[in-house]
Amino acid sequence: MTLRSVDAKQMESLRKMIPEDRFSTGDSVLNLHSRDQSFHPPSRPDVVIWPILKEEVCAVLKYADENRIPVTGWGSGTSMEGNPIPVKGGIVLDFSRMNRILQIREQDFQADLEPGVIYQDLNERLRHKGLFFPPDPGARATIGGMIGNNASGTRTVKYGSTRDYVLRLTMALASGELIETGTRASKTSSGYDLVRLFVGSEGTLGLVVEATVRLAGVPSEYGAAVVTFPSLNAAGKCVFEIKRSGLDPAALELMDPECIGLMNREKGLGLSVLPTLFMEYHGPSSHQLAETIKVVKEICVDTGCTGFNAGFGRGERDRLFRARHELGEMILRNHPGCGVLVVDVAVPATAYPDMIAAVKEEMKKGGVTGYIFSHAGDGNLHVNLVGKREDQDGWRRIHTVADRTVAGALASGGTATGEHGVGIGKRKFMEAEHGKSLRWMKKIKTLFDPNGILNPGKMFPYNDDFLQLTR
Amino acid sequence: MTLRSVDAKQMESLRKMIPEDRFSTGDSVLNLHSRDQSFHPPSRPDVVIWPILKEEVCAVLKYADENRIPVTGWGSGTSMEGNPIPVKGGIVLDFSRMNRILQIREQDFQADLEPGVIYQDLNERLRHKGLFFPPDPGARATIGGMIGNNASGTRTVKYGSTRDYVLRLTMALASGELIETGTRASKTSSGYDLVRLFVGSEGTLGLVVEATVRLAGVPSEYGAAVVTFPSLNAAGKCVFEIKRSGLDPAALELMDPECIGLMNREKGLGLSVLPTLFMEYHGPSSHQLAETIKVVKEICVDTGCTGFNAGFGRGERDRLFRARHELGEMILRNHPGCGVLVVDVAVPATAYPDMIAAVKEEMKKGGVTGYIFSHAGDGNLHVNLVGKREDQDGWRRIHTVADRTVAGALASGGTATGEHGVGIGKRKFMEAEHGKSLRWMKKIKTLFDPNGILNPGKMFPYNDDFLQLTR
């Protein structure tokens, strides 16, 4: 039995399950749920449903499974790789109204959340408790979406990815079954780690309907440093020495001169237009932090920095990092009529400088404009490749640069995606990255979702005929 | 088809696969592989094989799978919950000779290892490179065993568990198939996280034949503090405030007065016989570390400590932590003719003081002698319950204390095992801890090991008839 669109009779059945104000087949709603923040082409669902109860999610899934209707979870649509685009139509479950912070257990450093909670809103609520949820993908992402994509960001070098902050999940499975997995203890060796199997599975194994996440203490003191280098290589060496020193930076971001130029122009930062590291350090007291920064400076000087500025107040630090977070938007604004393909790969530390050199070379060869800014401390490289929307030849060249960058990352032992997930764009690399273990991923998919209704057309390289590959 | 012992004909077939000097059915060898460091009763395998090649592991597995012979992996036999005891007989694959450090990629903070590498030997090799492998279960455990049990220890509060240090695995599956999974990049969002599915699966889904692990930079400076409190409750409050402060202790261990008394007696430490925290901090410079310790002291004083001593040189610090690591052996030595049941549970931070009070109460009620020492920073409680080997009634009371402690941990949202794994002893709690998700763990087990040959009789609460529960 293959997957099907929702027919008129089925639409009536679904309509009876959900109150009218949380059910829509309206054009604008379908359009809004046809694309994320990526360059991937839009694809509309047949219907959008906003559940607010676990039981509603289960009922819709059970019905969809029985009728072979695709179901795709939706957070806030800020994914970067087409992850939530309903490429086979069907039902989109939009979790944005299932967004209660159920409980903050301050003394346990934990919070129980519905999947639609926006992580910045959670952090706003936590502010006065001296706690925060560290993963920070930047966009206004939901917790459910972050879990789906194993999202991460600038703070991951110190604090880890979303994967490291999920303790417990309640999952609605394809059949409509509800299971709880994980523990409220901060460590466990009990049974198979289903929590981490679900994290990063992009809604293809089940849908998160509740999560218990770990929180961290807000550091008493923050310190930032902006450090310039004569070459990307020198900056790369500095990244290595800082990591080896045990200094534990809370952010270690590398920007190429093109990015610095853009940030200067838009935000008047007045930085030297050179390869630049933005660093952040956290500490329990200003004296301790001052000692940390001293050691940082020594290392930067030893590795040949040409400029070191660490005398920032909190406001100035916020301004710098806000500019860093807005780079994606700045690039779009500065190239009117253009689209952007965001490359996201991660490689071992030693492969990092060569990777940057190679992508620069590919851009030059292909005549492609691009901006390199990256979570250097994690070996996670982003390149935003820019092209006129209608320039088909240009986009062919952009895709060539992107594909060669991913191929290069894999050849160096790295991964096709550091934090954006597989979605649509990285499916074609899955066989190359995972080899025979991809078959086992597929078997797990088939175990949890035998009819293939959950976010079909994602994660695996096989196209329309999901079931064809079920061996 | 049920599992079978190795018959004479099969023994001959197996003998042909492996050179004579790495194949044994000798009594002393079988006895050595019949027990780990736990109180669980011994059970002998039919044969012990020491593979040195992946291909040998695969060949044995393929033959065993076709003939329904149990296969149990063996590291160094230091597990604490009967995890590697071959309760159904069959073949033990002892990985102690497959113990090469294949490559240390210093600049990537990574090492490629065979499963039989002892983690202390790895750290010895890494010493002059300024790197180390942080998880430290204490005993001379192998990397393969640590991956099997998701081992952790005193440094986990800062550095995490084994799970957090495994980047890439080569696994031999039950059928003899070899798969590689994971990446050498330090982060990834690519595909399902099979690596973390295998970590902690106690050799029931496949056997590790190669691993790439993450390493950390050795901190320039270490600082220890020994802090005494008038009550366990006050010590618990201090643990919470330290964690909230962002001070990031590298060890945060709680010992009850009974443990301190023992350590004083055996090691002449001269500590006050009170609830005591052992802490360790790491820093990039002595000045920075001194500032850290200042903040630590303030918090300890604020939470009511009665003694604070942080003026240790490296030698003294090593002496303190060595005494801490030897507590298990000291307890055995001081109770001749006795056995020890080691309770290992983990609970949310707020449940920790009550948990300690409850276990003390249970020991008192049952007339059971016990020692409490624990990874307080992780909410991970160990209680070593001591009883005369022949005192059957005493052991019944010991088991009652242990079972009630686990039940209490689960009732507070915690886990039946923080770091020792399920093995034999925690199987009975799996249904209570995991509910319906246990069925999904079982389905995954059946997917990877349809004939149930891998470490049978472990992990799941179902006893002899493994296949009976395969639904």
Q: Cβ contact (<8 Å) for A188 and B217?
A: no
CA distances from B237 to A179, A429, B376 (A): 34, 50, 11
**Contacts A–B by Cβ distance under 8 A:** 300
Q: Taking CB atoms and an 8 Å limit, are B205 and A199 in contact across chains?
A: no
pTM: 0.96
Of B292, B378, B441, nearest to A288 by CB-CB distance is B292
Distance from CA of A265 to the nearest CA of B (A): 32
The whole-number average pLDDT for the span B73-96 is: 97
Smallest CA–CA distance, residue B463 to chain A, in Å, is: 16
Q: Give tens-digit pLDDT for A161-172.
A: 999 999 999 999
CATH number of A221-326: 3.30.70.3450
**How far away is chain B from the Cα of A8, in angstroms, using its nearest Cα?**
35
Residue in A closest to B292 by C-alpha: A288
B183–A414 CB contact, under 8 Å:
yes
The domain A335-411 is classified under which CATH number: 3.40.50.2300, 3.40.50.150, 3.30.70.2740, 1.10.420.10? 3.30.70.2740
Selection from A141, A66, A30 nearest residue B189 by Cα: A141
Interface confidence (ipTM) of the complex:
0.95
Contact: A217, B246; criterion CB under 8 Å: yes
Candidates B219, B350, B445; nearest CB to A107? B350
Whether residues A288 and B291 touch (CB distance < 8 A) is answered with: yes
- CA dist., res. B405 & res. B397, Å (int): 12
A23–chain B nearest CA distance, Å: 31
Q: Report yes or no: A59 and A176 within 8 Å, Cβ to Cβ.
A: yes
Is the Cβ pair B284, A246 closer than 8 Å? Answer: yes
Task: Label residue B314 by pLDDT band (50, 70, 90).
Answer: confident
Q: What is the pLDDT along chain A (471 residues), one digit of tens a residue?
A: 689 999 999 999 999 999 999 999 999 999 999 999 999 999 999 999 999 999 999 999 999 999 999 999 999 999 999 999 999 999 999 999 999 999 999 989 999 999 999 999 999 999 999 899 999 998 899 999 999 999 999 999 999 999 999 999 999 999 999 999 999 999 999 999 999 999 999 999 999 999 999 999 888 888 999 999 999 889 988 998 898 887 889 999 999 999 999 999 999 999 999 999 999 999 888 998 999 999 999 999 999 999 999 987 788 888 888 899 899 999 999 999 999 999 999 999 889 888 998 999 999 999 999 999 889 999 999 999 999 999 999 999 999 999 999 999 999 999 999 999 999 999 999 999 999 999 999 999 999 999 999 999 999 996 544 333 332
Task: Give backbone dihedrals phi and psi of B85, rounded to 5 degrees, phi first.
Answer: -70, 125
Chain B nearest-CA distance from A45, in A, is 24
Q: Of the candidates B220, B245, B441, which has its C-beta nearest A191's C-beta?
A: B441
In this structure, what token pair is assigned to residue B176? 């003899």
CA distance B186 to chain A (A): 6
A419/chain B closest Cα distance in angstroms: 5
For chain A, give percent helix, strand, coil, nearest 5. 40, 20, 40
Nearest CA-CA distance, residue A189 and chain B, Å: 5
Do the Cβ atoms of B412 and A184 come within 8 Å?
A: yes
* Closest A-chain CA to B171: A437
Structure tokens at A390: 């209608």
Q: How far is A374 from chain B (nearest CA, A)?
A: 13
Cβ <8 Å between B201 and A183: no
Q: Which of A58, A110, A181, A190 to mutate to test the interface with B (most CBs of B within 10 A)?
A: A190
State residue A272's pLDDT score: 96
pLDDT value of residue A468:
38
Distance CA B233, CA B388 (A): 31
Check residue A463 and give its pLDDT: 55
At the topology level, CATH places domain A8-96 in 3.30.43
Query: Using one digit for the tens of pLDDT, what is the confidence trace for A43-63?
Result: 999 999 999 999 999 999 999
Cβ-defined contact of A107 to B245 (cutoff 8 Å)? no
CA distance B144 to chain A (A): 15
DSSP A118: B
Nearest to A189 among B149, B164, B409 (CB): B149
CA gap B91, B105 in Å, rounded: 34
Q: Pairing between strand B71-74 and B23-24?
A: unpaired
CB contact under 8 A, A291 and B287: yes
User: Residue A190 and residue B426: Cβ atoms within 8 Å?
Assistant: yes
Q: Which residues in chain A are contacts of B156 at CB distance < 8 A?
A: 187
Distance (Å, whole) CA B133 – CA B147: 13
B284 and A247 within 8 Å at the Cβ level: the answer is yes
Give Rg (Cα) of chain B: 23
Distance CA B261, CA B252 (A): 19
A393: Cβ contacts below 8 Å, ≥ 6 apart: none
The CATH number of A100-217 is 3.30.465.10
Report whether A188 contacts B417 (CB < 8 A).
yes
Q: What sign results for the dihedral spanned by CA atoms A36, A37, A40, A41?
A: positive
Nearest to B414 among A185, A283, A430 (CB): A185
CATH class as words, domain B221-327: alpha beta
A chain contacts of residue B447, beta-carbon cutoff 8 Å:
443-444, 447
Which of A102, A126, A136, A189 should we substitute to test contact with B (largest number of B Cβ atoms within 10 Å)?
Answer: A189
Chain A: residue whose CA lies nearest to B286: A291
Q: Cβ of B433 and A191 within 8 Å?
A: yes
Q: Look at B189 and A201 and tell me if their CB atoms are within 8 Å.
A: no
Distance from CA of B88 to the nearest CA of A (A): 20
Average pLDDT over residues B369-397: 95
DSSP A415: B
Mean pLDDT of B336-340: 94
Contact B444, B197 (CB under 8 A): yes
Res. B469: pLDDT tops 60: no
What is the helix, strand, coil percentage profile of chain B, to 5? 40, 20, 40
Question: From CA B160, how far away is CA B250, in angstroms rounded?
Answer: 10
Residues of chain B contacting A447 with CB distance shorter than 8 Å: 443-444, 447
Partners of B179 on chain A (C-beta within 8 Å) are 435-437, 440
From chain B, the residues in CB contact with A218 under 8 A are 246
Note whether B192 contacts A245, CB cutoff 8 Å.
Answer: no
> How many Å apart are CA A228 and CA A272, to the nearest integer?
7
Give the chain A residue whose CA is nearest to the CA of B182. A434
β-pair partners for A166: A213
Percentage of residues of chain A with pLDDT beyond 90? 86
Residues 6 or more apart whose CB falls under 8 angstroms from that of A66 comprise none
Select from A150, A184, A447 the Cβ nearest to the Cβ of B413.
Answer: A184
Nearest to A379 by CA among A194, A152, A214, A193: A152
Q: What per-residue confidence (pLDDT) applies to A1?
A: 60
Q: Do A187 and B152 touch (CB under 8 A)?
A: yes
Residue A239's closest chain B neighbor by CA?
Answer: B107
Q: Out of B183, B349, B443, name the one closest to residue A109 (CB).
A: B349
Looking at residue A264, its pLDDT comes to: 95
Other residues' Cβ atoms within 10 Å of the Cβ of residue A53: 12
Q: Which CATH architecture has domain B99-217?
A: 2-Layer Sandwich (3.30)
CA gap A183, A190 in Å, rounded:
9
Chain A residues touching B243 at Cβ < 8 A: 109, 217
In chain B, where are the structural domains located?
A: 8-96, 99-217, 221-327, 335-411, 427-469
Cα–Cα distance, B139 to B326 (Å, whole number): 9
Chain B: residue whose CA lies nearest to A292: B288
Which residues in chain B are closer than 8 Å to A414, comparing Cβ atoms? Answer: 183-185
Residue B312 pLDDT level (bands cut at 50, 70, 90)? confident
Residue among B189, B291, B434 minimizing CB distance to A200: B189
Using alpha carbons, select from A214, A200, A233, A249 the residue that is nearest to residue A378.
A249
Under an 8 A CB cutoff, do B185 and A447 touch?
no
Q: How far is A350 from chain B (nearest CA, A)?
A: 6
